[in-house]
Amino acid sequence: MGAQVSIKKCQDYSYDQVYRAVKEGVDLLGGMGSFVSTGERVLLKPNFLVGRSPEKCVNTHPAVVKAVAQLVLETGARPMIGDSPQMGSALKVAEKCGVAEAARELGIEIVEFEPVDVKHPQGKCFKQFTVGKVVLEADKIINLPKLKTHGLTFLTLAVKNVFGCIPGIRKAQWHVRTAHKGSAYFSQMLLDLYTLVNPVLSITDGIVAMQGKGPGFGDPHDLGLIISGTDALAVDAVITAVLGLPPKRFPTLKVALNEHYDTARLSSVNVLGEPIDKVTAHDFHFPPEITEMKGLIKSILGFLKGPLTTHPCIDTKLCRQCNNCVEACPLHCISAGEGGFAINSKECIQCLCCMEVCPHGAVDLREGALLKLFKHQKK
Ligand code: SF4
Ligand code: SF4
């Protein structure tokens, strides 16, 4: 039997509805009791990007986290909630996005990720990671992604959500380590990290998804779905189909298909609950595809990088000079000048950490002048 993924409809975030949809979705996969056992410590890993209120759809909604925590409690297991945002603590983000209140209601703990090194001999390309200690100590991990767009990875779904297991600003170093081979190499790292973290379930909050300018300042899209599965790649394959996106346009799936990960193929997935064609979104807005320069082309045409690629720019009218992006940039290529904060596009590796941490939506993606011209001529 291939990987199983369930799709359940859920119109809004009223708790009873969410609990029912999550429970029915997990029941289709065998029930929570088949994934966690009495007494086990279960880490629930939501997406905690930055501290914003739930209606901004930036983080996994508190009702979804609470419903999963309640199901885990009902099995007699011991849930805890943890993630590592790029900046600040998990608790701070949890307070702002409503998850801390849900955790208090159920009497469960929010945990921080203390860094610890771990070897991963099974990794195809990357055999060593630094992850949160609790990620290794937990008996089971349940992955709780938010269905969102992302300027760098196009979408951030179940596989990408495990990137939060790397503590805080250390995430940025992975962008530096993988940048010379382009975004496909970053996806390869995500796949290796996923096989290390190995969550027993991925339950996706796709009730109100984020479209457009993700991951921090996109627009809400009422998708009305909870999508759950035992295999995060299979979950990503199903979500991509629901959004009507060819898998080859989603870098993580493209790399996984090239690397022969079986569960990345939709045909190998057993879809339960709602059929995909009954819940397909026809009007979901994707972010612009990032155009990058790598390898030989970069060494020869590096001086044209700015005009030939898609790169982040700071809108000085929106920028409040909080310095977050400067602190987050692993290449130190953001500086304050007379005209305000600016990015040196020659140095930039397009990791978009600056976009993730900007609390004012002042970082946007822009196409270079030559790239625009080529695209125009192609049309
Ligand atoms: S400017 Fe932004 S996208 Fe470029 S390297 Fe720095 S953080 Fe990454
Ligand atoms: S994070 Fe945003 S608001 Fe803060 S300095 Fe950078 S661009 Fe400006």
| Beta-bridge partner residues of 255 | none
3-class DSSP state for residue 156? strand
Q: How far is the CA of 74 from the centre of ligand 1 (A)?
A: 44
Last residue of a domain, one of 245, 279, 313: 279
Quick one: pLDDT band at residue 295, thresholds 50, 70, 90?
low
Same-domain check for residues 156 and 180: yes
How many angstroms separate the alpha carbon of residue 172 from the centre of ligand 1?
A: 9
Shared domain check, 139 and 236: yes
Between residues 296 and 338, the one the model is more confident about: 338
Identify which has the larger pLDDT, 233 or 293. Answer: 233
CA angle (114 as vertex; 106, 71 as ends), nearest 5: 25
Looking at the structure, do residues 223 and 352 belong to the same domain, yes or no? no
| CATH code assigned at 345 | 3.30.70.20
Residues 259 and 374 both lie in one domain: no
On whether both 26 and 145 belong to a single domain, the answer is yes
Establish if 285 belongs to a structural domain.
no
Residue in the structure block whose two tokens are 């969410």? 18
| pLDDT recorded at residue 337 | 86
Q: Which residues pair with 4 in a beta bridge?
A: 270
Segment 79-96 shows an average pLDDT of 97
90 part of a folded domain: yes
pLDDT at res. 187: 96
Residue 287 covered by a domain: no
Residue 289 lies in a domain: no
Residue 196 pLDDT more than 90? yes
Nearest alpha-carbon partner for 19 in 152, 203, 155, 267 = 203
Give the pLDDT confidence score for residue 227 in this predicted structure. Answer: 99
Does 250 lie in the same domain as 151?
Answer: yes
Among the residue ranges 62-66, 69-73, 320-324, 344-348, the one predicted with the least confidence is 344-348
pLDDT band at 354 (very low <50, low <70, confident <90, very high): very high
How far apart are the C-alpha atoms of 107 and 327, rounded to whole Å? 35
What local confidence, expressed as pLDDT, does residue 368 receive?
A: 75
Q: Give residue 365's domain range.
A: 295-378
If asked whether residues 188 and 312 sit together in one domain, one would say: no
C-alpha of residue 289 to centroid of ligand 1, in Å: 16
Q: For residue 328, what pLDDT is reported? A: 95
Q: Does residue 379 have a pLDDT over 70? A: no
Examine residue 215 and say whether the peptide bond preceding it is cis (omega within 30 degrees of 0): yes
Q: Given this model, what pLDDT does residue 2 score?
A: 78
Decide if pLDDT at 301 tops 70. Answer: no
Ligand 2 shell residues, CB under 6 Å? 314, 319-325, 341, 357-358, 360, 362-363
How does pLDDT run across 19-52, given as a tens digit for each residue?
A: 999 999 999 999 999 999 999 999 999 999 999 9
* pLDDT value, residue 283: 94
In this structure, the answer to whether residues 105 and 235 fall within a common structural domain is yes
According to the model, what pLDDT value does residue 84 have? 97
- Of 246, 279, 312, the position where a domain reaches its end is 279
Residues sharing a CB contact under 8 Å with residue 337, sequence separation 6 or more, in sequence order: none
**Atom number in ligand 2 closest to CA 318:** 3
Half-sphere exposure of 182 (CA within 13 A, CB side): 14
How close is the Cα of 50 to the center of ligand 1, in Å?
A: 17
Q: Which residues line ligand 1 (CB under 6 A)?
A: 312, 328-329, 331, 333-334, 343, 348-354
Instruction: Tell which atom from ligand 1 comes closest to the C-alpha of 353.
Output: 7
Q: Final residue of a domain: which of 279, 312, 338? A: 279
Q: What percent of the chain has pLDDT over 90?
A: 85
Distance 326 CA to ligand 1 centre (A): 9
Q: Is residue 60 part of a domain?
A: yes
Angle at 287 between CA 307 and CA 208, to 5 degrees: 160
